[in-house]
Amino acid sequence: MIAVQRRACHVAVDGGPLLILSKPGVPLAPNALAVDVEAHVTLEDRGFRVGQVVALGASPPVEREADWLVTLETATIWEPRPRVHALGSRDLVDRVRRTRLTVVADGAGETLLPLLWPSGADTRRFHPGIAGAAGPPAALLCDAALRCDAASLTLASRGLAGLGPGLTPSGDDLLAGFVAAWTLIGESLGQDGRACERVTAAVAAGADRGASPLGRVWLAHACRGELLEPMTRYVAALLADEPGDLGAAARGALAVGSSSGTDWMVGFLLAAATLLDTTTSRRPW
């Protein structure tokens, strides 16, 4: 166990990526398990500590003593990849525009939200903080994705990975949202799957050194279209034959973390607008 928070802890799996153990009621991540602990206590109060050994399976391993045993026999399985329907760009433009209105109205402050302002705005001048720093690499990211320019995608991702504070820095969240949209909206629009994979692979490669450990894991999942539970619900509503309540679904995604949901949605919307620019003359905003 390498980190313990009030409602979740992070476990480094031997020979594998990071695993999250969370309390019931915490939105699931694609690399998470909900553990059956009392709702009124924190994981630290329950006895979880950094450095402890967690065993996964029916019984503890005989070759090594374990502090905790997480059994999987009664686990409920969920699907972190939303169902994608083939949609026309005209429908998607309207849905993306409605999402942006919600994100601009309800997104958290001190985030990358200013990157959704008109493209002519100088984020470095009017937003000298994290949004100003993220503006140039984010613009390069969108341009390079359009051209499927792997070298420029890698450079842009390096400029964003690890940018900002938090368990998953703002730049990591933006990149995860970007590749999620490139994968899932690209599939909905009938884009060349291999070309989309080249874009997302270049983003992941560029972010590998600078991103946080959790950011790298969520980015790898996003490249496969696997998302956190609230993001899965939002994308399922966005890419359904008949859209669900996009406002409610978007607000659910925005509620993830103190800033992660907003920054993820910024990346998702930047990628969505970039993809739609190639298929329609009607800009999303």
Q: What's 134-193 look like in SS3?
A: HHHHHHHHHHHHHHCCHHHHHHHHHHHCCCCCCCCCHHHHHHHHHHHHHHHHHHHCCCCH
Q: Is residue 11 part of a domain?
A: yes
Considering the domain architecture, whether residues 131 and 65 belong to the same structural domain is answered as no
Q: Is residue 220 part of a domain?
A: yes
For the ranges 24-38, 50-64, 200-214, 268-282, the lowest mean pLDDT is seen at 50-64
Considering the domain architecture, whether residues 8 and 124 belong to the same structural domain is answered as no
Q: What is the DSSP letter of 282?
A: S
Report the alpha-carbon distance of residue 124 to residue 81 in Å, rounded.
35
Considering the domain architecture, whether residues 158 and 237 belong to the same structural domain is answered as yes
Q: Are strands 68-70 and 54-56 parallel, antiparallel or unpaired?
A: parallel
Q: Which neighbouring-strand residues pair with 174?
A: none
Count the neighbouring beta carbons within 10 Å of the beta carbon of residue 155: 16
Q: Is residue 84 part of a domain?
A: no
Domain boundary pick from 37, 70, 103: 70
Considering the domain architecture, whether residues 49 and 152 belong to the same structural domain is answered as no
Task: Work out the pLDDT band at 126, boundaries 50, 70, 90.
Answer: very low
Return the H-helix or E-strand segment holding 223: helix 213-223
Q: How many residues does the chain have?
A: 285
Considering the domain architecture, whether residues 124 and 196 belong to the same structural domain is answered as yes
pLDDT tens-digit profile of 172-227? 999 999 999 999 999 999 999 999 999 999 999 999 999 998 999 999 999 999 99
Domain membership of residue 51 as a residue range: 3-70
pLDDT tens-digit profile of 96-117? 999 999 999 999 988 999 999 8
Domain boundary pick from 20, 39, 70: 70
Q: Are strands 18-22 and 32-34 parallel, antiparallel or unpaired?
A: parallel
